[in-house]
């Protein structure tokens, strides 16, 4: 558990620094550690919530959250995340979708980001179309979905970098709540206490790591270095998970 907690701590720092919760990597790390796959999405979502709650507050206080656009994406993604959480999925399919999602998301993080002064691309007006599918995928595998949303928003130059990080953080927070509700309705509320008991040291680790990461995001944020480190970690863990299936 100490090694796993340390891995969660580092993951939380990296992901929170770019506005993410880290749920996808938490699930993969738990899978590689041999945890019960039914607990994976619940533990990952709980960790997501404590990381992005702090990030969302920090971004809001810094007044970088574009509330109108962000809430529109959230309103479409959250109900889909709930449906994804309710959807039954077998163990092998779960790990395959999770591993493939991680690898895809890792490579997506290498996509170029928009500069502060860039004009939005024409495709930016259609970014809302991705919110529901990404929300459903997030609920299905127990993540927040921001790791998919943010590269897309960067690609179409939806907003400047910190505004996108703030939007991704809010998207993850609300999707995690709705996805968790779906997971618990599907598997029973007893899973929540089991996941909380098992994952308490991990939750504490990500609380501390998430605060450090969100502070880096708001005040320092060496964007390129942190994005590349996050992408490399995501691809590595996702690839290992796929090889272990």
Domain boundaries, the chain: 2-244
pLDDT at residue 71 in the model: 95
Beta carbons of 201 and 1 less than 8 angstroms apart: yes
Q: Report the C-alpha gap between 34 and 89 in whole angstroms.
A: 18
Q: Report the C-alpha gap between 209 and 216 in whole angstroms.
A: 11
Sign of the torsion angle spanned by Cα atoms 203, 209, 212, 214: negative
Three-state DSSP class for 189? Answer: coil
Three-state DSSP class for 127? Answer: helix
Q: Report the C-alpha gap between 180 and 88 in whole angstroms.
A: 14
Beta carbons of 192 and 42 less than 8 angstroms apart: yes
195: CB partners within 8 A, 6+ apart: 39, 42, 43, 46
Q: Report the C-alpha gap between 232 and 220 in whole angstroms.
A: 21
**Cα Rg of the chain, angstroms:** 16
Sign of the torsion angle spanned by Cα atoms 42, 133, 229, 235: positive
Phi and psi, residue 119, nearest 5° = -80, 145
For residue 163, with 0-12 CB atoms within 10 Å meaning exposed, 13-18 middle and 19 or more buried, which class applies? buried
Each residue's pLDDT expressed in tens, for the chain with a length of 245 residues: 789 999 999 888 888 777 678 887 888 888 888 888 788 889 989 998 988 888 888 889 889 899 999 999 999 999 999 999 999 888 888 888 888 888 887 887 777 655 544 566 677 888 889 999 999 998 988 888 888 888 888 888 888 878 888 898 899 999 999 999 998 998 887 888 888 888 899 999 998 988 887 777 656 655 676 667 777 877 887 888 788 77
- Give the global pTM: 0.83
């Amino acid at each position: 558990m100490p090694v796993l907690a340390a891995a969660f701590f580092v993951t939380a720092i990296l992901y929170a620094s770019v506005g993410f919760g880290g749920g996808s990597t938490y699930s993969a790390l738990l899978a590689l550690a041999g945890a019960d796959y039914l607990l994976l999405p619940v533990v990952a979502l709980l960790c997501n919530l404590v990381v992005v709650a702090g990030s969302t507050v920090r971004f809001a206080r810094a007044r970088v959250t574009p509330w109108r656009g962000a809430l529109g994406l959230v309103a479409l993604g959250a109900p889909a995340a709930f449906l994804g959480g309710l959807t039954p999925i077998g163990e092998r399919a779960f790990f395959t979708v999770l591993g493939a999602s991680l690898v895809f998301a890792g490579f997506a993080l290498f996509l170029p980001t928009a500069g502060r002064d860039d004009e939005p691309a024409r495709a930016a007006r259609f970014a809302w179309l991705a919110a529901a599918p990404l929300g459903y995928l997030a609920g299905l595998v127990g993540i927040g979905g921001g790791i998919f949303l943010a590269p897309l928003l960067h690609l179409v130059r939806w907003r400047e970098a910190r505004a996108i990080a703030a939007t991704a953080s809010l998207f993850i927070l609300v999707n995690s709540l709705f996805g968790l509700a779906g997971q618990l309705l599907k598997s029973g509320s007893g899973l929540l206490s089991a996941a909380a008991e098992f994952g308490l040291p991990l939750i504490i680790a990500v609380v501390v790591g998430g605060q450090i990461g969100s502070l880096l995001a708001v005040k320092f944020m060496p964007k390129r270095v942190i994005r590349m480190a996050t992408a490399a970690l995501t691809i590595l863990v996702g690839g290992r998970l796929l090889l272990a299936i």
